Structure 1
């Protein structure tokens, strides 16, 4: 005999505290099947140019537990949504509008839409600005990102893209800008316009001076340029950082040192959780556990990083989760 409904309700496990992932990608199903990976590898490999470039990643291939696996073909998005439900995660999802809407349809209450501009030299800028304004005013999009100017050899303060940031400021839309490392050891081969120097957080200063009300999310926390990052955060209170990508793709000791340095400098209310999710559904639980197990963070600091800071930055609610 089935238990009474009230007893069934009481027996259901309580949902975990809410989490916001501010850096998520609407990866197409056909391109979401990456290789298994070991998160937080201990070495970034040297290469010899005489050798074939091989795979994209330069991180060492290690044995680990847990190893992260891609979802079976055709099951990536459904597996991802199930993990989001289990972990109580809401995510800011970046991509082209069609892909982002597919993610929203799969989990309407857990996806916050983000998209960015095209800045190729032959872009019809007026048309691109109209397209973006429509998406942000009538299309339900909430964040401008991921803005990957560093991969194009451009500073975020470059005048050629300033109109897009002016639009975001006028519409009160936060912008998420890739800053920090990239290229996976093969930038010179696969992406010759990428410049590590253009990940310097201080390159945002001219942009912020021109657009003083712009809310900026520095993706990857500008790793590894910690001193310049701290200088920028002290000078500009509207700037936040996400720890996506960084949190799982570098040695765990280095990850913890970098986050701890930001928090110890007094900027614990600027750090936002993120994964840079692209292929491995288990990446969410692994990345969350790094914050939850960080001994240098107080319980309140953990909740701020996992939820409160992003909720405030994105203006998605007035409730603070303790």
Structure 2
């Protein structure tokens, strides 16, 4: 990847469908998410199509799926497929993996193999879908190897559109996505690079507190149009967290075109914009040398 030729890095995009047509979530959960985001009938692009989309815009993108087999019973898209497909488009795509923490030692072995053999650059967790509290010691062996490997862990935080409107929320418990639970992880794994995904409604202040207090905790801005960002998030992005806030869209349910158009109208300092859109992510993902 020629980082100098990239104008932005989208740190939050989803591989929703495999090469053989298998979806990353069940149809019921997909349908709820589409309704929540008002993205009815949105296409589920292949990773090759995602690459073409971002290449056309001179952007890079982090790509991942969600492994929640234990809680949902739905087979995941293989991390190996995501990594190999991203490698075919290494000029624009950056592979993350998702390992269900309930897999225990098998998950730990897989994480080590994915980084060593497949070039995975980080890991995605969705505590509400995966059905675990981030500070559950059950997940600690997995965090330990991720910290050792020196790659980031991205945690969904706040409410989720997945399961919204389905009776019982499709079994998804929102409490697991409180960013204060990730604060414990930041304490117990002090060198682990962490990304808190999304404006963390209804726990926005908690997310800001954790990211301000813990030096290696970042926030991505995916999943919301910037015109709906809480004012305190904009204020912190402009000041105390200007080096720790990251552009993310949540593609394909939210496109970077829509996100960037609304971000252009946001009162962000000119010197901070390039940090959010590219520079902070480039440093976190090891795409540029740091002091």
Q: TM-score, normalised by structure 1?
A: 0.73
Match of 1:224 among 202, 212, 219: 202
1:102, distance to aligned residue in structure 2 (A): 5.1
Three-state SS of the structure 1 residue aligned to 2:271 is helix
Residue 26 (structure 1) aligns with = 15
CA distance in 2: counterparts of 1:85 and 1:168, whole angstroms: 29
Three-state SS of the structure 1 residue aligned to 2:96 is strand
Residue 311 (structure 1) aligns with = 282
Match of 1:286 among 236, 251, 258: 258
Residue 40 (structure 1) aligns with = none
CA distance in 2: counterparts of 1:104 and 1:179, whole angstroms: 25
Residue 7 (structure 1) aligns with = none
1:81, distance to aligned residue in structure 2 (A): 2.7
CA distance in 2: counterparts of 1:128 and 1:94, whole angstroms: 16
Whether the 8 Å CA contact 1:25–1:93 is kept in 2: the answer is yes
Whether the 8 Å CA contact 2:245–2:280 is kept in 1: the answer is yes
Residue 129 (structure 1) aligns with = 108
1:263 is aligned to 2:242: no
1:100 is aligned to 2:82: yes
Instruction: Give ranges in structure 2 of 5+ residues lacking alignment.
Output: 24-28, 66-77
Whether the 8 Å CA contact 1:81–1:106 is kept in 2: the answer is no
1:87 is aligned to 2:57: yes
1:98, distance to aligned residue in structure 2 (A): 3.5
Instruction: Give ranges in structure 1 of 5+ residues lacking alignment.
Output: 1-14, 33-52, 62-66
Whether the 8 Å CA contact 1:87–1:285 is kept in 2: the answer is no
Whether the 8 Å CA contact 2:111–2:146 is kept in 1: the answer is no
Q: Within 5 Å, which residues of 2 pair with 1:183-194?
A: 183=162, 185-186=164-165, 188-192=167-171, 194=172
1:318, distance to aligned residue in structure 2 (A): 3.2
1:198, distance to aligned residue in structure 2 (A): 2.3
1:191, distance to aligned residue in structure 2 (A): 2.2
Deviates more, 1:135-144 or 1:195-204: 195-204
Query: How far does the alpha carbon of each residue in 1:106-164 deviate from its partner, in whole angstroms, 9 at most, with x for none?
Result: 522111111021234xx3x222211210111222111011x112223321111111110
Give the number of equivalent residue pairs: 267
Whether the 8 Å CA contact 1:24–1:93 is kept in 2: the answer is yes
The CA RMSD over aligned residues, in Å, is 3.0
Three-state SS of the structure 1 residue aligned to 2:229 is helix
CA distance in 2: counterparts of 1:139 and 1:277, whole angstroms: 23
1:177 is aligned to 2:155: yes
Q: TM-score, normalised by structure 2?
A: 0.80
Query: How far does the alpha carbon of each residue in 1:63-117 deviate from its partner, in whole angstroms, 9 at most, with x for none?
Result: xxxx99745x9x7555433321221111111133233135325522111111021
Match of 2:270 among 291, 296, 299: 299
Structure 1 residues 60, 143: closer, same or farther in 2, change over 3 A? closer
CA distance in 1: counterparts of 2:84 and 2:245, whole angstroms: 29
CA distance in 1: counterparts of 2:31 and 2:152, whole angstroms: 34
Which of the two has higher C-alpha Rg? 1
CA distance in 2: counterparts of 1:151 and 1:292, whole angstroms: 32
Structure 1 residues 265, 132: closer, same or farther in 2, change over 3 A? same
Whether the 8 Å CA contact 1:292–1:302 is kept in 2: the answer is no
